[in-house]
């Protein structure tokens, strides 16, 4: 189910728990491989600390425009420092294409600061409100 959404260039919404117990939702670039979801972030980002404290997460992959449809689920998020550069390269190829942009140049020159986030979904479900939102 996840691989069907890989061609979409939308961010994943990742839900995490802060140490104070309140949730945090963050949007990140993603790609899927073997039914896992991969993202990248800076190793000193607060979300790395949050994931280190509690690896449980939720996620949603959906566009913002009607009719609303997408997938959502929950699972475990693991931090992998060794794969940060590789994952970031794949993400740049997906979201920035082959274009050399200022953002791509910045990310490439600072890629030693990246860690990979590997999400193993435990539950995934889809929703599609196309019929409900139809104007016919």
pLDDT tens readout for residues 11-62: 999 999 999 999 999 999 999 999 999 999 999 999 999 999 999 999 999 8
Instruction: Delimit the domains of the chain by residue range.
Output: 2-128
DSSP-derived letter for residue 129 is -
The β-bridge partners of 26 are 14
Mean pLDDT of the chain: 88
**Start-to-end C-alpha separation, the chain:** 29
Contact 57, 76 (CB under 8 A): yes
Indicate whether this model's pTM tops 0.95: no
Is the domain spanning 2-128 CATH 2.30.110.10? The answer is: yes
Region 80-87 average pLDDT: 96
Region 106-116 average pLDDT: 82
Residue 45 C-beta-side C-alpha neighbours within 13 Å = 17
**Comparison of pLDDT for 31 and 64, the residue scoring more:** 31
Contact 74, 119 (CB under 8 A): no
**Sequence-distant (≥ 6) Cβ neighbours of residue 85 within 8 angstroms:** 111, 112, 114
| Confidence band for 108, pLDDT divided at 50, 70 and 90 | confident
């Amino acid at each position: 189910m996840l691989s069907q959404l890989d061609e979409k260039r939308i961010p994943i919404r990742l839900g995490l728990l802060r140490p104070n117990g309140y949730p945090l939702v963050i949007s990140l670039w993603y790609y899927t491989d073997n039914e896992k979801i991969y993202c990248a972030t800076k190793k000193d980002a607060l979300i790395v600390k949050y994931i280190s404290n509690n690896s449980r997460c939720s996620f949603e992959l959906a566009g913002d425009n009607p009719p609303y449809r997408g997938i959502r689920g929950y699972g475990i998020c693991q931090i992998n420092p060794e794969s940060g550069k590789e994952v970031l390269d794949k993400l740049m190829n997906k979201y920035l294409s082959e274009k050399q942009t200022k953002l791509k140049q910045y990310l490439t020159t600072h890629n030693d600061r990246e860690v990979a986030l590997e999400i193993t979904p435990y539950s995934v479900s889809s929703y599609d409100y196309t019929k409900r939102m139809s104007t016919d």
